[in-house]
Structure 1
Amino acid sequence: MHPAPSVIIFTTLSGLGFGLFFWLGLGVPDVTGGTAFAFFFIAYSLSCAGLLASTFHLGNKKNAVYALSQWRTSWLSREGIAAIVTLILFALVAVPRIFLGAEMAISGAIGSMLAVVTVFTTSMIYAQLKTIPRWNQPLTPVLFLLHTLGGGALLAGEVKIAGWLLLALTLVLFAAWQVGDKRANARGTTGDATGLVHLGEVRLLESGHTARNYVVDEMVYRVGRKHARKLRWIALVLAGALPAAILLLTPSGHITAFLALALHLFGTIIGRWLFFAEAEHVVGLYHGK
């Protein structure tokens, strides 16, 4: 697929924001007053900026409200509802903590669970798509959740926990690519797609269109294998391995935490671009891909 910048921004920023919400709901870090305001402000800024970015690729922005009405069948609707409920609940957690110094342990824990549910619903938008075999695997939700919890722990100042989570992210990211490659290679041929495989090899005689169109531009985008391999290693090192090494093997400090966060964010953006760019839609089989 052709990666839309808005979707990359959405999944990256909102994941970090809801990850920070998760730790704040558990009382990590244990702060009140102005410090608590700063942490909640960061969480809200990242979450809301990501959610707003998700509407940029809509042809008609007014239709965004209708996405909330299909919650029975749509993971996109469930994501929108979960995000709104989570943001409202954390407002009820943040205000008492900031102005009254109240712990809000129960509502905070519920908010943390909802933050995880929100990110899970986001991941399921992609994981449930059988038309994109690379995404349609159990490791896709795990990948999103580890990005969220690891990045959130970094923002919350839990550097050692973040280090272990980012190490786990490195392993899962590598495994997800291996499983994704196998699933993508097993998606079939043009003969399977057309149902004519019993007649022999099926080849595209001529394109079904005379000009570029949305399907080809968005769904049949291909990234070079050589470039994809390089980007995978860069994403693996920057998003997970190197930040984990910095956090686990060096003394804790603001400088090392900031460096690890910067590397993780940059690597996540590269990995998320690759996540979409490598997604081979089965419709490509009808276009000789």
Structure 2
Amino acid sequence: MRPTFSIICFTVLSGIGYGAWFLAGISLATHPLCFALDESSMSRLPGSLCNLPLTNLVSFLLAFALVATGLLCSLAHLGKPKRAWRALSQWRSSWLSREGIAALVTFVPASLLALTGFLVWTTNHPSWVFAPFWSMFALPLLGICLSAGALITVYCTANIYSSLKTIRAWHDRKVVAAYLLLALYGGLLFATAMARSDFAWMSVRDALCVITVMVAIPCVWLKYRYWRSLDTQPHISTGHAVGLELLGITRPLEAPHTEENYLTREMGFVLARKHSRKLRAIAFGLILFSPIVGFLLGLAIGPAASWLALTGGTLGLFVERWLFFAEARHAVIAYYGR
């Protein structure tokens, strides 16, 4: 399949944003009273709206912007984006429709939390934060809904590709697992970069780096298994496509057209194996070693290393996602003798 920049940006940016929302929802569900912004709240886990009056609110809004930008990029791939709303009616059979519905529903708790964080930031110690209903029920519930919505949305996005039987590279259970793990990986990189930079939080930042490395290892292992199975798949011949494989070698007498058409251009993207291996190695290195290098550099140059790790890890995700599309070939290409 021809790699499209809009779809690559959609899956990578929204994946990082949803990963950050997933972590923020868990943090908020387990520490709802951190909205109080008192001294005791500074010992809470990072990732929710509450530990840092400005920085953490900004981090949540940045994750909000990543998700929104990714979804807008997905609309750019459509022929007529104004009709995108019609796809929501096919939720019974379409993973694309389910993804759209899940994305819209997830914006509800995210918007409420963003509004709450803004009110907490602008109002010093609002009394309604301490109300039992709000602090013990509403905030944890919003956090749970946010995490669940982010998880379901990424799951639906992965199943858009995994459900396509005509593209063997995508019709694999490892695709869904890889999407979920890489989204969590991106969210952890984002949370590490946004963690508080003073001395009291350095141990938390270091812990996040270690957790990110622990998540990066299964990500790389899963992608290795995926690419290995992709390389060992048997080639679909033209004879198999037309049902004449038992009669011997089948090949077209002449090309059905004199130039490329839509099918050969969009569904038969050719990537040389040597280039594929180089790009896989680059993706492996960036995804695995970015948090490790960020952790080691953080001991020398401080919090700025987390941003370097976020940049390197994000580049690795872009390379991995480009390969995900470039190495996939639609079954219809077999009819063209390719």
- TM-score tier, shorter chain, comes to over 0.9
Q: Which moved more, 1:246-255 or 1:159-168?
A: 246-255
Q: Which digits, 9 at most, give the CA deviation of each residue in 1:172-228, with x for residues without a partner?
A: 11111112222xx32532111101112221112112223321101001111011111
Deviation at 1:72, TM superposition (A): 0.5
After TM superposition, list the pairs within 5 Å mapping 1:8-157 onto structure 2.
8-27=8-27, 28-32=46-50, 33-100=53-120, 102=129, 104-157=139-192
* Counterpart-to-counterpart distance in 2, 1:73 and 1:260: 39
**What corresponds to 2:221 in structure 1?**
171
Q: Which moved more, 1:5-14 or 1:52-61?
A: 52-61
Given the alignment of the two structures, is residue 280 of structure 1 paired with residue 329 of structure 2, yes or no? yes
Deviation at 1:248, TM superposition (A): 5.7
Structure 1 unaligned blocks of 5 or more: none
**What corresponds to 1:245 in structure 2?**
292
Residues 209 and 67 of structure 1: CA distance in aligned 2, closer, same or farther (over 3 Å): same
Partner amino acid, structure 2, of 1:141:
V
Deviation at 1:39, TM superposition (A): 1.5
Given the alignment of the two structures, is residue 254 of structure 1 paired with residue 303 of structure 2, yes or no? yes
Residues 35 and 255 of structure 1: CA distance in aligned 2, closer, same or farther (over 3 Å): closer
Deviation at 1:30, TM superposition (A): 4.3
The normalised TM-score by structure 2 is 0.80
**What corresponds to 1:268 in structure 2?**
317
Partner amino acid, structure 2, of 1:5:
F
Q: Is the 8 A contact 1:19 1:150 kept in 2?
A: yes
* Structure 1 consecutive aligned stretches of length 4 or more whose deviation exceeds 6 Å: none
* Counterpart-to-counterpart distance in 1, 2:142 and 2:148: 10
* Counterpart-to-counterpart distance in 1, 2:323 and 2:278: 11
Q: Which moved more, 1:228-237 or 1:35-44?
A: 35-44
Partner of 1:222: helix, strand, or coil? Answer: coil
Deviation at 1:236, TM superposition (A): 0.9
* Counterpart-to-counterpart distance in 1, 2:220 and 2:295: 14
* Counterpart-to-counterpart distance in 1, 2:235 and 2:119: 56
Partner amino acid, structure 2, of 1:243:
S
Partner amino acid, structure 2, of 1:17:
G
The normalised TM-score by structure 1 is 0.93
Partner of 2:229: helix, strand, or coil? Answer: helix
* Counterpart-to-counterpart distance in 2, 1:234 and 1:248: 20
Deviation at 1:65, TM superposition (A): 1.3
Coordinate RMSD, CA, aligned: 1.7
Residues 76 and 162 of structure 1: CA distance in aligned 2, closer, same or farther (over 3 Å): same
Query: What is the total number of aligned residue pairs between the two structures?
Result: 286
Q: Which digits, 9 at most, give the CA deviation of each residue in 1:114-150, with x for residues without a partner?
A: 1011011101111111111111111101111111101
Structure 2 unaligned blocks of 5 or more: 28-45, 130-134, 193-207
**What corresponds to 1:7 in structure 2?**
7
Q: Is the 8 A contact 1:127 1:135 kept in 2?
A: yes
Q: Is the 8 A contact 1:13 1:47 kept in 2?
A: yes
Q: Is the 8 A contact 1:21 1:112 kept in 2?
A: yes
| Structure possessing the higher radius of gyration over alpha carbons | 2
Q: Which digits, 9 at most, give the CA deviation of each residue in 1:230-269, with x for residues without a partner?
A: 111011111x221242256565642221111111111111
Partner of 1:55: helix, strand, or coil? Answer: helix
